[in-house]
Amino acid sequence: MYPSHEVEQHLQSQYHDKILVLRGFYSGDHLQFESSGALIGISSPSDWTADGFVRIKEIRFAHRHMLIEGKRLLVIEPDEREFAFADEKDNEQRNLKIEAELDADHLSAGKADAAMSKIFLTTQDSLANLVPAYWVPCVSDAVVGKDGSFRFASEFLTIPGVVASGTGGESSSSAMRKPPFDCRTPQRQKKEFIPG
């Protein structure tokens, strides 16, 4: 099975050089997925700041597989007021290869997009709903930069899943317990569990 030239063009125009969020924040430099989106083999979920964001460099097809090459982006706090990406030149060893099984005999652009959505977040997802509980207030507030608090750099706000579709940019964190740390301090690295 090989996709049509139109499908390959569609994938290149939709995803090449785009930043996406990897579901599960899996670590490792080579990941394999079933057509269902389930991870094949052993890989531990990691921290979203270290292994969540991937810049897509190439997508191609071989033997009923979609092959994705990208580069992981490290999220840092350069001024202790916002999340930003570290300079990619400093992350030379952060390459990622993904192999995803395809179950379609005739791959269409829609089926290719569906396969991508099983691996990466879409506009229907919310990063704040997927991070561990201790991160939720920080991530929720960062989306809207609430009250001049911690925020995402503007480049994050166009990444599918960082701002969930239909939220209108509203943060749900006001109804949540505040974390036992300030988002701007290294204390949050302790990753205390916050009971619901």
Nearest to 83 by CA among 184, 192, 190: 184
pLDDT at residue 168 in the model: 43
pLDDT of 14-68, one tens digit each? 999 999 999 999 999 999 999 999 999 988 889 999 999 999 999 988 878 899 9
Q: Which pTM was predicted?
A: 0.82
Give the separation between CA 7 and CA 175, rounded to whole angstroms.
44
**Are the CB atoms for 23 and 121 separated by under 8 Å?**
yes
**Structure token pair of residue 20:** 């996406």
pLDDT of 59-94, one tens digit each? 988 878 899 999 999 998 887 788 899 887 766 668
Question: Rounded to 5 degrees, what are φ and ψ at 8?
Answer: -60, -40
**Are the CB atoms for 16 and 59 separated by under 8 Å?**
yes
HSE-CB at 158 with a 13 A cutoff on CA atoms is 5
Nearest to 51 by CA among 30, 20, 84, 73: 73
Give the separation between CA 56 and CA 72, rounded to whole angstroms.
9
